[in-house]
Amino acid sequence: MLRGVLLDLAGVLYDGDSPIEGAADAVRRLREAGLPLRFVSNTTRSTKQMVLERLDRLGIEVDAAELFTPAQAARGWLAAHGCSAHLLIHPDLEPDFRDMPAGERLAVVVGDAANAFDYASLNAAFRALNDGAEFLALADNRVFKDDDGKLSLDAGPFVRALEFACGRPATVLGKPSTGFFLSALASMECLPEDAVMVGDDAEGDVAGALRAGLATALLVRTGKYRVGDERQVEPAPTAVVADITAAAEWILARI
């Protein structure tokens, strides 16, 4: 029996500035069924407040405590480890890192920096890593669906380049990090075996959730989904469904 739901945002509830048909109604039906919801996004181009405002404009009501972002996880990591941040992120995300206390050590924080991924910024990050800075990746997705409807490079390829250069792996804070999923579940006191994840990324959302111990993960055929994605990952999705409406119906039949 399912007792908690994790929902991805981009590609599941909205595409760009447009809601995916039926998204608001699907969220409402899940809430009315008494299921606690958490919204787990790997967005690293928007602050948490910007994401909440977008959802509100689209008619999807989400409380700040229900939304989990990699930047939020990074702030917690930096504070817990006494580190200051060397940021290689999108300028729009910088407000989420304001007012951080100075730490005794340095950590390079990499997100989807878009046009800020130039040689100078990448080399500065590499030099900091080479000097011993900690290495944090907000996410390591390969691609995302851009505003023009086409796939674009996400943070993952640049994280891999820095890993290759400095010779050590990054600590990934967003999906598919097990800790990211478990933190969201802990906030609603839901065990992994009682939870379901809904996402459009077979690798980061679905396989990541299943590796984290979730009982169920549904892949929707919206957003960045491409035919055959479900055959490219292990563990494979529990089910592949048309969209968030179909996902909600699947979940509601199993509570």
What is the CATH classification number for the domain harbouring 229? 3.40.50.1000
Portion of the chain with pLDDT greater than 90, in percent: 96
163 and 215 part of one domain = no
pLDDT of residue 173: 98
Strand bridging mode 18-19 / 83-88: unpaired
pLDDT tens track for 136-176: 999 999 999 998 889 999 999 999 999 999 999 999 999 99
Cβ burial of 26 (10 Å; 0-12, 13-18, 19+) is buried
Domain count, the chain: 2
Task: Note the helical H segments in the chain.
Answer: 23-32, 48-57, 70-81, 119-130, 156-166, 178-186, 208-211, 244-252
Q: Do 9 and 43 touch, CB atoms closer than 8 A?
A: yes
Rounded Cα distance between 165 and 127, Å, is: 10
164 and 206 part of one domain = no
pLDDT of residue 233: 97
pLDDT of residue 53: 97
The Cα angle at residue 189 between residues 185 and 191, in degrees rounded to 5? 65
pLDDT of residue 83: 98
Torsion, CA 155, CA 73, CA 95, CA 152, rounded to 10:
20
Domain that holds residue 159: 71-172
156 and 180 part of one domain = no
pLDDT tens track for 166-213: 999 999 999 999 999 999 999 999 999 999 999 999 999 999 999 999
Q: Is residue 54 part of a domain?
A: no
**What integer is the mean pLDDT of 230-244?**
98
Asked if the model's pLDDT at residue 93 lies above 90, the reply is yes
Strand bridging mode 4-7 / 14-15: unpaired
Q: Provide the 3-class DSSP secondary structure of residue 16.
A: coil
Q: Is residue 119 part of a domain?
A: yes
Q: Provide the 3-class DSSP secondary structure of residue 167.
A: coil
DSSP state of 236: P
Global pTM reads: 0.93
As a whole number, the mean pLDDT across the chain is 97
Contacts 24+ apart (CB under 8 A), 86-91: 86/124, 86/125, 86/128, 86/133, 88/113, 88/116, 88/117, 88/121, 88/122, 88/124, 88/125, 88/158, 89/44, 89/113, 89/116, 89/138, 90/44, 90/45, 90/114, 90/116, 91/116
| Helix pair angle (244-252, 23-32), 10° resolution | 20
- Token duo for residue 192: 């992994």
Q: Provide the 3-class DSSP secondary structure of residue 4.
A: strand
Last residue within a domain, chosen from 149, 172, 195:
172
pLDDT tens track for 59-82: 999 999 999 999 999 999 999 999
pLDDT of residue 95: 97
| Amino acid at the residue 250 | W
168 and 184 part of one domain = no
Q: Is residue 156 part of a domain?
A: yes
pLDDT of residue 136: 98
**What integer is the mean pLDDT of 21-48?**
97
Rounded Cα distance between 215 and 15, Å, is: 27
Q: Is residue 59 part of a domain?
A: no
pLDDT of residue 16: 87
200 and 166 part of one domain = no
The number of C-alpha atoms within 13 Å of 42 and in the hemisphere containing its C-beta is: 32
Handedness of CA 234, 6, 85, 77 (dihedral sign): negative
